Structure 1
Amino acid sequence: MVVRLSEVWPVVGADRLLSECVPPPRFADVRFGTYRPDPDEPSQAEALAVLVARAEKLAGPRPAPSLWSRLRGRSESPDKPGVYLDGGFGVGKTHLLASLWHEAAGPKMYCTFVELTNLVGALGLRTAVEALSSYRLICVDEFELDDPGDTMLISRLLGQLVEAGVEFAATSNTLPDKLGEGRFQAVDFLREIQGLSARFDVRRVDGPDYRHRGLPVAPDPWPDEKVEQEAAVRANASCDHFVDLHRHLAELHPSKYGALLDGIETVAITDVRPLTDENVALRMVVLADRLYDRNLPLLAGGVPLDQLFSADMLKGGYRKKYLRALSRLIALARTA
């Protein structure tokens, strides 16, 4: 029986949000030893060495703070409490981040930036700080600030957790002092942005997108009839009209998009259309991330996936989000 995602209404509590803060299935088995730095891109080997050293530091039990450090409310470590991997798409940043999480001693957490903001929204800032202050390491993938509220929220969260001795690792396609640029008046929140930047040891990771080396173009879309027929013969497949799906996403909080895919092994979408509404496009970005996390093959009809976002969108403030989504959707379409 084919599932219609547009008819599924998942219920997700705060407990589930916290318990699911682990690397997604695609990165469940990655380790530093499985990362292959490109010999033509020395920054990849350098980033690997930095994270291996950080993992060695985090492999043992969390040291008890001295009375002096507790009174001052800060860590005694001279190192910055966070490491930040900045780079393009598909250069292995998430592989490295997940490897660090696997090597570190617990308690520890792994989430995307969207999942972190959703978690804090569900728990409240005070409860989130209380719940996370005992953690040794928090890994945040796709770190990005899209509005002033997120800037203030995450700045306060990180500040209080750093004082509690929590260490951070993050990946992004945007340097921390450029977060929010092009999306809101970052100058109004410069203090918060600079505060976030000062907490990270920034490491650049360069290289071409490994998912598309030699294959940068989206595969030809399938006829809608073939999409529906193929979904009908695949186990645990979903199939939705593109418009029905994105309208349904508008009625769900993004924290529920992962639960929407529970039990699904293949996703099929008919009549994919170019998007012109930024709100719809950003919801599709979150869905693309959850599909990619779960390594779900994507059967798609309609326009080629590389035409999903308009030319204006690909030039705007959310350009990097859209390019990441295209990179991931095209990779999933090729696996189908």
Structure 2
Amino acid sequence: MSSSQPSSSPSAPIAESPDGAGAAPAALTSRAPHVPADRLVAEMVPPPRFQGARFDTYLPDPKQPSQTEAVTVLGAFAAGIGGASAVGGRRRWFAKKPAAPKGPRGVYLDGGYGVGKTHLLASLWHATDAPPERKAFGTFVELTNLVGALGFQETVRTLGGHRLLCIDEFELDDPGDTVLVSSLLSRLVESGVALAATSNTLPGKLGEGRFAAADFLREIQGLSAHFRPLRIDGEDYRHRGLPEAPAPYDNETVTRTAYHTPGASLDDFPSLLTHLSKVHPSRYGAMCDGIRAVCLTDVQAVPDQSTALRLVVLADRLYDREVPVVTSGKAFDELFSDEMLRGGYRKKYFRAISRLTALARDAGPLVTGA
């Protein structure tokens, strides 16, 4: 597998290092990695947080029968994914054309943040009886970036021999990318690839719920018959019965934690937001390679929607990689304005707040041990 090398550039000034501190921490603002195409393909697997995800490790809320139903439906879907009709991504010249599969060839998971959609999607990937190179898992952003890196036809050839493609956080906010991926999925279904996706709804338009499935199916017009919408209700499991996240620390505490935590990064939050605008969101995961904790000083409310959406992607990649976050400044529930939290992207923002809060809670032992 190819590796990416972060570029070097000066990072924003940070509070002075504490006395007796260890080696200077890394800075995310000094990283702008190039991600080779072969790495994009090889890394289309569930992220570290979900490597151990299985249907039997999903804990349904007993008050939400739709969660238990989702496990049953997805288990049957995994069992029903048939054998491949291609070898090494290429169809045999004289192979008998496989019979058309019975029932939907895709499932669409619709629900609020924190109900375990990604856990279920990763569980489906693990439960499908196919070698890792014959099934793919990635976010919508990662899939569009793959098309950009390989080209449309080569992406069809690369993924066309797969048994399953799982798409997390399917986007509906970029019509161009949505049409591109819709065309790609049409070609993959023709090749016999089973599909699964989680929702990324725009609840500000028509309200969360049935709209997500209806809008998704409308965007991929010709694929509507191949998908079974599966609604998953419930509350955010990340905070079910857990204590509140710690309040932000002072700059000195954040800096001391960064210097005393091997593999930590230390950045000034406004400078990090500026840096994110210079790196494609598909590279944010590579930007976090080797980072064991993220320490941020002077956290402020994000100034505009474009910046906020980039921060959401970074929060997702940190959460996927289980990277704890230590901050000073504003609390995470003050990151986004009331207008943003009422708008069409509010589901993304609430998910980011939820995930960052969980990562802040994870960081507690790092702070006390520094």
Pairwise same-fold verdict (TM > 0.5): yes
Matches of 1:223 and 1:26, distance apart in 2 = 29
Identity of aligned residues (%): 57
TM-score by length of 1: 0.90
Matches of 2:255 and 2:56, distance apart in 1 = 41
Matches of 2:341 and 2:126, distance apart in 1 = 35
Aligned match of 1:297: 324
**Alpha-carbon contact 1:75-1:164 (below 8 Å) kept:** no
Corresponding position: 1:207 with 2:244: no
**Alpha-carbon contact 1:217-1:306 (below 8 Å) kept:** no
Three-state SS of the structure 1 residue aligned to 2:60 is coil
Aligned match of 1:99: 123
- Equivalent position to 1:273, from 300, 305, 311: 300
Three-state SS of the structure 2 residue aligned to 1:312 is helix
Matches of 1:63 and 1:17, distance apart in 2 = 24
**Alpha-carbon contact 2:28-2:266 (below 8 Å) kept:** yes
The residue type paired with residue 84 of structure 1 is Y
**Is the deviation greater in 86-95 or in 131-140?**
86-95
Corresponding position: 1:33 with 2:51: no
Backbone CA RMSD of aligned residues: 2.2
**Alpha-carbon contact 1:85-1:93 (below 8 Å) kept:** yes
1:272-298 deviation digits (Å, cap 9, x = unpaired)? 100131111111011001000000000
1:247-305 deviation digits (Å, cap 9, x = unpaired)? 11111111110110111100011111001311111110110010000000000111001
- Equivalent position to 1:47, from 52, 64, 70: 70
**How many residues in Structure 1 have an aligned counterpart in Structure 2?**
322
Aligned match of 1:172: 199
Corresponding position: 1:61 with 2:83: yes
**Alpha-carbon contact 2:85-2:161 (below 8 Å) kept:** no
**Is the deviation greater in 214-223 or in 107-116?**
214-223
**Alpha-carbon contact 1:75-1:165 (below 8 Å) kept:** no
Three-state SS of the structure 2 residue aligned to 1:267 is strand
Three-state SS of the structure 1 residue aligned to 2:124 is helix
1:58-100 deviation digits (Å, cap 9, x = unpaired)? 3x63257999995xxx961131111111111111211111111
The residue type paired with residue 63 of structure 2 is D
Deviation at 1:118, TM superposition (A): 1.3
**Alpha-carbon contact 2:171-2:178 (below 8 Å) kept:** no
1:116-173 deviation digits (Å, cap 9, x = unpaired)? 1111121111111111100000011111222111121011000000001000111114
Aligned match of 1:157: 184
**Is the deviation greater in 14-23 or in 112-121?**
112-121
**Equivalences for 1:143-154 in 2 at 5 Å?**
143-154=170-181
* Bigger CA radius of gyration: 2
The residue type paired with residue 27 of structure 2 is R
**Alpha-carbon contact 2:249-2:328 (below 8 Å) kept:** yes
Three-state SS of the structure 2 residue aligned to 1:86 is strand
Aligned match of 1:85: 109
Three-state SS of the structure 2 residue aligned to 1:161 is helix
**Equivalences for 1:298-313 in 2 at 5 Å?**
298-313=325-340
Change in 2 beyond 3 A, CA 1:306/1:69? farther
Unaligned stretches of 5+ residues in structure 2: 1-23, 202-211, 364-370
Change in 2 beyond 3 A, CA 1:99/1:18? same
TM-score by length of 2: 0.82
Matches of 1:214 and 1:239, distance apart in 2 = 31
The residue type paired with residue 79 of structure 1 is G
Change in 2 beyond 3 A, CA 1:193/1:234? same
Change in 2 beyond 3 A, CA 1:276/1:130? same
**Alpha-carbon contact 1:289-1:325 (below 8 Å) kept:** yes
Deviation at 1:246, TM superposition (A): 1.0
Matches of 1:75 and 1:144, distance apart in 2 = 32
**Equivalences for 1:18-29 in 2 at 5 Å?**
18-29=41-52
Aligned match of 1:184: none
Unaligned stretches of 5+ residues in structure 1: 180-189
Aligned match of 1:129: 156
Aligned match of 1:225: 252
Three-state SS of the structure 1 residue aligned to 2:338 is coil
